[in-house]
Structure 1
């Protein structure tokens, strides 16, 4: 694991240089530090990324703080600029990342396909814009579909959301909603925040306990059992419906993530295609 961590940090450093990305934060505001959990006892900064076991990591660090009655502020952005600078310079830092289009699918399934209040919220935020722009002759603004009356589900497709997202590349700012689908490198600033540990969601069973041991916190808190992701199981079924031109646009949208974190879009696409054709042969 130590060798793998060195490889990942080296790959990240090379990617930052190749892409000419800044190695320092332009300023300390919520945009850059609002995702960093602080543990002052163990001197840890952990960057949580939505759809990368985010809720579980928040719970783990919350439990860790309770073991030593750490009553300091839990997010780096809540500290003064001087306090933030000190912690960025002196605390060890960690982040977990995930294969980009698998993470996007996980977001799509949980926000646009759960047929509950959450889907209604996301359809109001994004679905109406998508329908108005990409479904010719259909408008979701009828009296039956307004915010005060009954709302019929718009059933936004993955292809529609990909088109919406890639049409607005560089135009969507980081926030506590957009952090669910913006590229990993925008949410985690890996070239500016020099991480000591870079975990991969795909190896969570092994790497989560190792990270806690890496920080010397494994005796105080444990990472809970890892369950299979529904996004992985539905990867082929969902992406085989997406036109190839949109897949190419998606690769471009997440290109920096693939460069920086060692994932391969081509390998992911190949597995989708191979599985698709093997299913047809059965």
Structure 2
């Protein structure tokens, strides 16, 4: 299995030693897993006080490109230690009998979701499970360039998310089995709450079709308005708290894929990815993948669009601290597998922390 790039910083940008920051959290999860109690704790909402391993990177995206040789060497050593811990965490959690161990052990609904999110390139022999709000549009550009249907990754066109792309769901079982066995498999992940906030701001704040389909219904369900004005909403004014209340009532396996947990979209216990890249080190990890699959030198990962508005640490802090604590405590277990398997730390929203 190819190495999954680990990162070196925590959410606040402080650099910790692996032994101080990672091992206690890892051991906590191993104890939970070994006792067979993980899924029970998820269902009962008992994980609000459990720390997960440190996150995969800081908010300074691709800070590694500006390191000195000495700093890079130090990061490589720490990266290897963290990677080993992360791999052991995933192996331990995925080896439990109540977790899926192959594509064919998934339920029909789980398998359908997964196969519809795995893109195929037969020429370069790789499978990419795309996760909305984790640079998937740019990865689709790359696939189209490799497939010869797009001239280069910088062509200014509206992304068509279906045409000129091949999905694993289009193959018969024997074709699926062959590609799973012989192709390089990868996905990219992002801090779960940051991804959720990005989806909320983009889809419910800017996209009219999402406002009509989801926003109107959310306002009807969760906004108390004595005057009855809530029923007249165009769905373009959904608050973050209303959005979270909606998520709490949703079955994770039937959510829209922009806020469905990454675990449910890509099923890492069932597919055994060769590489899991992180949004926090997007350029570095994407370059590794392109080299690994043998992409031509002229094919590079696209730069962010000029209009893109990133979710900063301060923005995420503001939105999470504005939520009633009860809502946040109920929300986090919905994404517990994203936090634990992909090694992200629960956000600190204590009263003291939120004052600052």
Shift of 1:129: 2.5
When residues 161 and 208 of structure 1 are mapped into structure 2, their CA distance, relative to the original with a 3 A threshold, is same
Structure 2 CA distance for aligned equivalents of residues 19 and 254 of structure 1: 20
Structure 1 CA distance for aligned equivalents of residues 352 and 220 of structure 2: 32
Structure 1 unaligned residues grouped into runs of 5+:
146-150
Kept after mapping to 2: 8 A contact 1:132/1:140:
no
Q: 1:248-269, CA deviations, whole angstroms, 9 ceiling, x for partnerless residues? A: 112111011111110111xx32
Q: Work out whether 1:11 is the aligned partner of 2:99.
A: no
Q: Work out whether 1:251 is the aligned partner of 2:332.
A: yes
Deviates more, 1:179-188 or 1:201-210: 201-210
Kept after mapping to 2: 8 A contact 1:8/1:198:
no
When residues 51 and 243 of structure 1 are mapped into structure 2, their CA distance, relative to the original with a 3 A threshold, is same
Q: What's the counterpart of residue 183 of structure 2?
A: 91
Normalization by structure 1: what TM-score? 0.80
Structure 1 CA distance for aligned equivalents of residues 352 and 114 of structure 2: 37
Taking the TM superposition and a 5 Å limit, the aligned residue runs for 1:197-208 are 197-208=275-286
Q: CA RMSD in A?
A: 3.0
Kept after mapping to 2: 8 A contact 1:76/1:84:
yes
Shift of 1:214: 2.0
Q: What's the counterpart of residue 241 of structure 1?
A: 322
Q: Secondary structure at the match of 1:198?
A: strand
Taking the TM superposition and a 5 Å limit, the aligned residue runs for 1:222-241 are 222-226=300-304, 230-232=310-312, 234-241=315-322
Q: What's the counterpart of residue 271 of structure 2?
A: 193
When residues 229 and 13 of structure 1 are mapped into structure 2, their CA distance, relative to the original with a 3 A threshold, is farther
Kept after mapping to 1: 8 A contact 2:128/2:187:
yes
Shift of 1:73: 6.5
Structure 2 CA distance for aligned equivalents of residues 153 and 128 of structure 1: 4
Deviates more, 1:239-248 or 1:15-24: 15-24
Q: Secondary structure at the match of 1:192?
A: helix
Structure 2 CA distance for aligned equivalents of residues 19 and 51 of structure 1: 31
Shift of 1:18: 5.0
Shift of 1:158: 0.8
Q: What's the counterpart of residue 170 of structure 2?
A: 78
Structure 2 CA distance for aligned equivalents of residues 112 and 223 of structure 1: 28
* Alignment coverage as a number of residue pairs: 258
Kept after mapping to 2: 8 A contact 1:199/1:208:
yes
Q: Secondary structure at the match of 1:191?
A: helix
Structure 2 unaligned residues grouped into runs of 5+:
4-79, 152-163
Q: What's the counterpart of residue 51 of structure 1?
A: 133
Taking the TM superposition and a 5 Å limit, the aligned residue runs for 1:1-282 are 2=3, 3=80, 7-18=85-96, 20-26=98-104, 30-66=112-148, 74-114=166-206, 118=207, 120-137=208-225, 139=228, 145=232, 152-170=234-252, 173=254, 178-217=256-295, 219-226=297-304, 230-232=310-312, 234-265=315-346, 268-269=347-348, 274=353, 276-278=354-356
Kept after mapping to 2: 8 A contact 1:5/1:198:
no
Kept after mapping to 2: 8 A contact 1:49/1:96:
yes
When residues 152 and 169 of structure 1 are mapped into structure 2, their CA distance, relative to the original with a 3 A threshold, is closer
Kept after mapping to 2: 8 A contact 1:36/1:48:
yes
Shift of 1:239: 2.0
Kept after mapping to 2: 8 A contact 1:236/1:272:
no
Q: 1:21-73, CA deviations, whole angstroms, 9 ceiling, x for partnerless residues? A: 11112368542211111111111001111000010000011111219x9xx96
Kept after mapping to 2: 8 A contact 1:185/1:257:
yes
Kept after mapping to 1: 8 A contact 2:115/2:169:
yes
Kept after mapping to 1: 8 A contact 2:204/2:238:
yes
Shift of 1:232: 2.4
